[in-house]
């Protein structure tokens, strides 16, 4: 019988396993640590970000490299498949030895990827796409105009890093795009001998774990971040390598294998949406507790229904916040004195549930913030217009909305872990991204993520025409004007396809009703029709097509024009409300005029739209008072939009910063208490 290893030998063996790539299950996460911030760091970082965002000569250097890559790629076209595959295998071996530090080697790899894409997909990267890839492989953020082909641009850094033995995560904004892009590009990855995984909502843990074992993984920001949180929860207090060796040596119970392999290289599509728009609230991993319907939520709704705004509470609708007045607190205490639930006995808990009940009644609206499907309240993502299945509001708010809608109550949720996008993405060893709308957020992207923004020139001149902005007196006149605009485009302009963009499910159905009233059929794309998305998008570029859509038709949606629609003048886009950030408006406008195609846009809004009433109420009243006729067009309408959006952007930036500071303080507190 062989001698048993000594304790020292076992410890040495475990340490070697932990440090080895061959044992991914117990290896500690390869990730970047986050240094504590100093109070002057952010102002300095913002100034540096503004300076780095200015046009710089470096773009010309990248353009020269891109031209050289195109020339090298063209020289590969004469190779037969066997010779080309041999070159690819040799490149992988060289990258595994040398990594990404040699620009000449990266350029040579890009030339191979360009040729492989041509052989497998029938398309070869343009020079501007190569520039975008070079920016990202160096850990930067590329602004590429909408329609410039970001999907195949992501191939360049992803394949290059994966061949250098860096597991790659490619982030998209929804499951539809993750699955679509992965399947479209799979032949190219396979040509280089790389494996490809897709992480989607609803996958079981073993399937997710298997997906992360691939060289390249496609998934959404929420799915991948929650998998990271699940692993951190699984690790508990044993996150350090030394602690894990001690646990293996001296016991401590079996541990579920980790889902991910670490945070190596990230390619983030639609980076401003993920890094900025979705970064105002932390992601919270929670477990559902058994439902306990003791009448608390119905009692809370009934109690606050008797309160008066201004006298008993104040609403800050722009912040989605409710504040009880001193009088309101006393009234809630008096009227809840006879209620049996324990929470009414504790002042802080009593006022918190009352404030949440007011928010459920006054701030959260059906078909805007959520929809009800099969007796369940489902949250609608404000940025993407999509349902966030299995997500819920915290603090009893979700159950209060369920009680308001008279559906079965779900259980409350116990928080197991939380993280902000700022803290998650900064942990990647190399972070990169791209979007069509990041220039204006460059200072914040540098300060929060260390990402330098570089603007990539267009491949072809922009032929999209802007028909201006008409501001109407109310919603009814706005919907009527939208319907007439659609009729005009179809009747006077050879049945061009039209895309009408709305901000909510309810608004999309209001537009459809206005169109139906004048005999125009349309197809609706919103959170209710997400299963039909591919078919609706495929038909949206045909002659005579009228599509009414929420933000689901924004980022990542490529509406391909039929030859007849292109000849008729391309897609016409109508915005029916502006968003808090002009970047989302530009994304919707960018569905028209892609890759040098013809197209046009116009905006038809109402002065009682939420953007104006929440963020520029005084300016809106001034415009209304001074209007001699409706609609208001030209400089006055444009100034009101700019004023309101600037105010909203300032408010959201402050919210993001406050969220990050709160999470930093919470993390320090938990570390001090030994919970992390």
Contact 158, 170 (CB under 8 A): yes
Q: Determine if residue 148 is labeled as part of a ligand binding site.
A: yes
What are the residues whose beta carbons fall under 8 Å from the beta carbon of 399, sequence distance 6 or more?
Answer: 297, 409, 410, 412
Distance CA 440, CA 448 (A): 14
First to last CA, the chain: 42
Cβ 52 vs Cβ 442: under 8 Å: yes
The DSSP call for residue 322 is E
DSSP string, 100-158: T--HHHHHHHHHHHHHHHHHHHS----HHHHHHHHHHHTT-EEE--TTS-HHHHTHHHH
Please check if 225 is assigned to a binding site.
Answer: no
Q: Which of 260, 159, 170, 156 is nearest to 208 (CA)?
A: 260
Name beta bridge partners: 393: none
Q: Tally helices (H) and strands (E) across the chain.
A: 27, 21
DSSP string for residues in 447-471:
HHH-PPEEEPPPSS---EEEEEEEE
Residue 149 counted as an annotated binding residue: yes
Q: How far is CA 672 from CA 31, 394, 530, 576, 666, in A?
A: 22, 25, 45, 50, 10
Please name which of 379, 353, 145, 137 lies closest in space to residue 265, comparing C-alpha atoms.
137
Q: Which residues of 321-352 are buried (b: 16+ CB within 10 A; e: fewer)?
A: ebebbeebbebbeebbeebebebbeeeeebbe
Q: Where are the beta strands (DSSP E) in 293-359?
A: 313-316, 321-324
CB neighbours of residue 211 within 10 Å:
23
**Rg of the chain over all Cα atoms, to the nearest angstrom:** 27
* CB-based contact 460:451 (threshold 8 Å): no
Binding residue per annotation — 150? yes
DSSP H or E segment with residue 91: helix 81-98
Q: Whats the size of the chain, residue-wise?
A: 676
Peptide bond into 631 cis (omega under 30): yes
Q: Count CA atoms closer than 13 A to 625's CA, side-chain side.
A: 6
Which pair of structure tokens corresponds to residue 350?
A: 């009593």
- Written as one string, the DSSP assignment of 353-414 is HHHHHHHHHHT--BTTTEEEETTEEEEEPTTT--EETT---STTHHHHHHHHTT-PPPPPEE
Q: Which residues are annotated as a binding site?
A: 129, 147-151, 558
Q: Which residues are annotated as a binding site for ATP?
A: 129, 147-151, 558
């Amino acid at each position: 019988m062989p001698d048993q290893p000594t304790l020292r030998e076992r410890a040495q063996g475990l340490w070697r396993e932990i440090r080895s790539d061959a044992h991914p299950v117990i290896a500690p996460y390869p990730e970047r640590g986050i240094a504590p911030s100093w109070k002057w760091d952010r102002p300095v970082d913002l100034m540096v970000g503004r300076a780095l965002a200015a046009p710089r000569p470096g773009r010309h250097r990248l353009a020269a490299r891109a031209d050289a890559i195109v020339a090298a790629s063209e020289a590969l076209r004469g190779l037969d498949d066997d010779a080309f595959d041999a070159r690819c295998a040799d490149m992988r071996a060289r990258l595994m030895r040398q990594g990404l530090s040699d620009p000449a080697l990266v350029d040579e790899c890009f030339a191979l990827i360009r040729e492989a894409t041509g052989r497998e997909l029938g398309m070869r990267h343009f020079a501007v796409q190569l520039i975008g890839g070079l920016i990202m492989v160096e850990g930067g953020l590329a602004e590429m105009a909408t329609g410039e082909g970001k999907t195949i641009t992501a191939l360049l850094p992803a394949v290059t890093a994966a061949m250098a033995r860096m597991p790659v995560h490619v982030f998209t904004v929804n499951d539809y795009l993750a699955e679509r892009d992965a399947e479209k590009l799979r032949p190219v990855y396979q040509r280089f001998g790389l494996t490809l995984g897709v992480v989607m909502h609803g996958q079981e843990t073993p399937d997710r774990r298997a997906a992360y074992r691939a060289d390249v993984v496609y998934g959404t920001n929420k799915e991948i971040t929650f998998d990271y949180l699940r692993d951190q929860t699984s690790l508990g207090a044993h996150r350090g390598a030394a602690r894990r060796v001690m646990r293996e040596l001296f016991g401590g119970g079996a541990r579920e294998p980790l889902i991910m392999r670490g945070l190596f290289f990230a390619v983030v599509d639609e980076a401003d949406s993920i890094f900025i728009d979705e970064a105002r609230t932390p992601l919270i991993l929670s477990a559902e507790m058994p439902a306990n319907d003791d009448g608390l939520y119905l009692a809370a709704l009934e109690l606050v229904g008797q309160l008066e705004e201004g006298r008993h509470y104040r609403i800050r609708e722009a912040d989605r916040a409710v504040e009880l007045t001193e009088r309101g607190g006393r009234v809630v205490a008096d009227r809840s004195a006879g209620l049996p639930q324990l929470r009414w006995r504790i002042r802080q808990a009593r006022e918190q549930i009352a404030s949440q009940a007011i928010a459920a009644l006054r701030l959260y609206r059906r078909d805007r913030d959520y929809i009800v499907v099969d007796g369940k309240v489902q949250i609608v993502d404000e940025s993407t217009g999509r349902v966030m299945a299995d997500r819920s509001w915290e603090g009893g708010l979700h159950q209060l909305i369920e009680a308001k809608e008279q559906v079965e109550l779900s259980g409350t949720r116990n928080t197991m872990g939380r993280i902000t996008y700022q803290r998650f993405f900064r942990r990647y060893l190399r972070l990169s991204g791209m979007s069509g709308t990041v220039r204006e957020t460059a200072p914040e992207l540098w300060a929060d993520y260390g990402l330098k923004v570089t603007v990539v020139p267009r491949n072809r001149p922009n032929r999209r025409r802007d028909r201006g902005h008409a501001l109407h007196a109310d919603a009814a006149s706005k919907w009527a004007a939208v319907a007439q605009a659609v009729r005009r485009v179809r009747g006077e302009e050879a049945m061009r396809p039209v895309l009408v963009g709305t901000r909510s499910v309810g608004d999309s159905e209001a537009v459809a009703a206005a169109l139906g009233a004048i005999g125009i059929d349309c197809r609706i794309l919103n959170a209710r029709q997400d299963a039909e998305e591919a078919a609706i998008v495929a038909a949206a570029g045909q002659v005579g097509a009228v599509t009414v859509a929420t933000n689901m038709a924004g980022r990542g949606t490529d509406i391909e024009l039929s030859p007849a629609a292109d000849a008729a003048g391309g897609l016409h886009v109508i915005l029916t409300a502006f968003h808090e950030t002009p970047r989302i408006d530009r994304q919707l406008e960018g569905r028209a005029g892609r890759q040098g195609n013809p197209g046009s846009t116009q905006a038809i809004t109402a002065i009682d739209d939420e953007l104006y009433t929440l963020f520029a109420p005084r300016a809106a009243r001034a415009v209304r008072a001074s209007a001699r006729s409706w609609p208001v067009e030209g400089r006055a309408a444009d100034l009101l939009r700019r004023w309101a959006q600037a105010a909203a952007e300032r408010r959201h930036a402050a919210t993001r910063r406050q969220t990050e500071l709160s999470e930093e303080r919470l993390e320090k507190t938990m570390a001090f208490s030994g919970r992390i």
